[in-house]
Each structure stands twice: as C-alpha cells, then as structure tokens.
Structure 1
C-alpha cells in the first residue's frame, strides 16, 4: 500500500497590484521573477511574498488585529521590498528608496525602516481585492490575499535586482496580449487578475469595482480536458467567468 503524502499547509502571503493612471488607461506595476526561483521562475508577477513574524509584531503594535492586520503590513513591506514604493502617511523622504536593498538583505526590519524614516505605514491605502489558495494537490501552497493600491506620484517604482530581474509599468490588456503571443509567462492567478483589471478603463473604476465586490475565497479545482486543464471558480468572486482553460500545466 502506498502512503498518501500529507497535504501541505498553505503559507499566508500578500500580493499588491500597484496602479497608476496613464493617458491610455490604467497601468499596473509588475516584476519579472528570477528564472532560478522554484515557484513561477521567469514569470511576470505582481510584487508580493509570504507573511513573516515581523509583520505580526508590527501589526500588533499598531492595533491591527489578527491575520487580516498582519497581511496588510506584509503587503506594505513587500511593496517596498519589490517595488521601492513606501505606502505611508504623510510625506516620504526622497532617500527612502535607498533603504530597499537593506530591507531585502534583512539588514534592517520594516519597523526599524519606518522609524528611521520617521513615517507611519498606511494600511488603509490598500483595498482588498482577491483571495486565492493553492489547490491541496500542490507540494508548495500559498494562502494569498491580493490588494490594490494607487502608487504615490512622488515615488518611482523599481525592482530589487535579486528575486526580480526586471520590472515594468504595463496596461493589463497589453500584459495579456504579450502573454498570448508568447512574450510573457503568467501563472493562472496573475492572468485571471489581469483579466479582471482589463475590464476597466480607469483606476477609479477598478477601485470602485473592488469596493463593491465582496472578496470570495478561490481554491481552484481543475480537470483534464483535450484542450488542457479546465479550472473552475465562483462567479461571485468578480472575475466574470466560472471556468478558465489553462494550456500550461506548470502555471496551474
């Protein structure tokens, strides 16, 4: 008899869809993951990462309760680590971006960084957008909450040069078009969230949609069909579809 491997416990994580309005419509900041990274190596993704103990400690010190509060701090930290954007109350010093490498190298904590810059984090700058949990048949799983945030006009986004080797401000429609043409690699959750953004012609419309749409947990189920793998998701989640065909097994 073959023992059934235990189901991996998903790691709590936060991802941020950093938005700005351009003359041609909304754009989102995305980074290209290093090709040697095991999960989604080489893919175009939104900044984000797993929750750590420091996020919980900082959230508790600010009176942000439970996982929900800690995930918002995680989202703010990851936005700075992977995009050099600090979502904070009040003016952010121009020197803030120079601290990005120190945070990425664990030379300083996010709490110490904020104290050193003399700013307070702005968890209210985040709008809860989506919640995805990796299916239980995967050896590495994430319980990921996606947030929207508008990029401050006085800060310049930049990737970290470590986990991310490139970055781009791109319209959701163009990102999808380039992926369809084979120029970009997208994992399923990224593709679906880009499709959701692409339905709107302005950042304001995206934010209004998010405010009016309850966040529904998505743990995709899939089955093999001749064309690929057919994934199902709840209509109430706001994606406008209940099924999605993926032809890339590695991205499911």
Structure 2
C-alpha cells in the first residue's frame, strides 16, 4: 500500500476522497492534584460520524477556516493552518470555550461570541466584533489520523493547556448531548465499564495520553515522535481480523479486534 505523504502535505488526488478535519485535546489541572483532566463531548446518537460516542471537540475544516488561516498564518502550510483555525472555531461552537487568544476571554464574552459564531458560521466576524487576537501557536500538533476510505475524516489532533481550568463550558445540544472533564485513564475505565463508547482513534489517543502526568510531558512526547499521518489497516491474526496502526508513533496499543472497534 502506498503510504500517505507527510502531515503538512495535501492528500494525493488519486487516493481516498477524505474530509479535512481538526480536533482539540484540552488539558486542565485536576483540583485534587491528580492526572490532568481532558474535555470530552458526547455526540448525539443520530450524528453520522461517531454517533453516541465520547470524543474530543472538533469537526471538519470549512472554507472560511482556510480563508482566515491564509490571512493569519501565511507562512504555514494551508492545510495545517486551516486545521488550527477549525480546532479553535469548533471548540467555541461545541463547548462555549474560547481558546488560543492573546488575552483571556471571559465566560460571558465567550457566550456572546458563540452566539455570533452560530449566526455567522465563521470565526473571522467574531474576532472582529470582540477584538480577539488569536494565538494559534498555543495549539501543538499532536497527531494526524486519516482512514483509508472515502468520506473518512482526515483529522489533525492538537493539544492545549488551560492550567487552572477555571472555565465555564456548555454543550451545544445539537451535535452533542453533554460535556465532561475526565482524565485519560478514567475515560478508558468508563469505556471499559460500558458507560461511554469511544471510537478507535479516540481509544488509541486516550491510551497514549494516559501515560502523561502533565501537558508538558505530552509536549515532550511529541518531540520524541514527530507527527506523521497515521491510517489504520486490517490484519488477520490467528483467523481474527484486527484493526491496527503502525508502530513508532508513540502509541502503547497498536490495535484491537475489528468486532470490538468502533470505526472513526
């Protein structure tokens, strides 16, 4: 199978027709001093992608994201720049949390900005209205997953840190049904008990994130594993089909039986 190109390059035109997307893993300090907590959203069951599953905030890259990215990040490869913008926009839309700004945004301002975003469908008018200046460099590229099938989401994962986590979040109640903060290990425990469902990429990333005691440790792991596009493949092991990913990207678990894997 022909490998996908590096993460900053577009998909080949003769490959699967995939949808550019971005997702954001948001860290905050746990009040009890335990492992960092991550913000997750539970998708509405009727959604085509990951219906009913717990995922990180995110969604597809829109044309308006690309336009804003070209203006704000002209030196970045456009696919990567647009993914930064999409991750910020989708987080505000889905959770009411405005991240990656040069100055703090209050919960009240973020709520007003979210309403304007839902009305206008683009982040640029919101930035203009409220005078917010983005600091997209606060989002670190953590991983890049792309399924090798048509209409799959070619998703860049970013991480960012809120520190104390003194923030208000509110579910959008359209694509998602609830928000919750949890450590990566606790999320895996909930999935093991059947309290939440997680799709294959989310499970693999939770397993990886569960090894880190801080956002700083996560950034150090990125340094050890430069981001390359990952796609899962099917392998038959002792007559059982497994969904697997290549080794060398920092993931402690490389696969699971296809029958138990929810595809994302």
Using structure 1 for the length normalisation, give the TM-score: 0.88
- Mapped to 1, the partners of 2:166 and 2:184 lie a distance apart of 23
State the secondary structure of the residue aligned to 2:120: coil
For the 8 Å contact 2:188–2:206, the answer to whether it is kept is yes
Contact 1:14-1:75 within 8 A present in 2 as well: yes
Per the alignment, residue 190 of structure 2 pairs with: 178
Deviation at 1:183, TM superposition (A): 1.0
Contact 1:127 1:211 in 2 (8 A): no
Of Structure 1 and Structure 2, which has the larger fraction of its residues in strand? 1
The superposition leaves residues 81-120 of structure 1 with CA deviations (integer Å, 9 ceiling, x where unpaired) of 11222121123244222332442x3435210101111111
Structure 1 segments unaligned to the other structure (5+ residues):
1-5
Taking the aligned partners of 2:123 and 2:130, their CA distance within structure 1 comes to 11
* Cα drift, residue 8 of structure 1: 4.6
Query: How does 1:1-252 map onto structure 2 within 5 Å?
Result: 8-22=16-30, 23-64=33-74, 65=76, 66-87=78-99, 88-93=101-106, 94-103=108-117, 105-136=118-149, 139-151=150-162, 153-224=165-236, 229-248=241-260, 250-251=262-263
Count of matched residue pairs:
244
**8 Å CA contact retained: 1:127, 1:149:** yes
Q: Could you say which residue in structure 1 is the equivalent of 2:11?
A: none
Alpha carbons of 1:250 and 1:232: their partners in 2 closer, same or farther (altered >3 Å)?
closer
Distance 2:145 2:248 in 1: 14
Deviation per residue, 1:51-85 (Å, 9 max, x gap) = 11111111111133311111111111111111222
Task: Please name the residue that 2:10 is paired with.
Answer: none
Q: Name the CA shift for 1:208/1:243 in 2 (closer, same or farther; >3 Å).
A: same
Q: Whole-Å Cα distance in 2 between the matches of residues 168 and 67 of structure 1?
A: 29
Contact 2:138 2:160 in 1 (8 A): yes
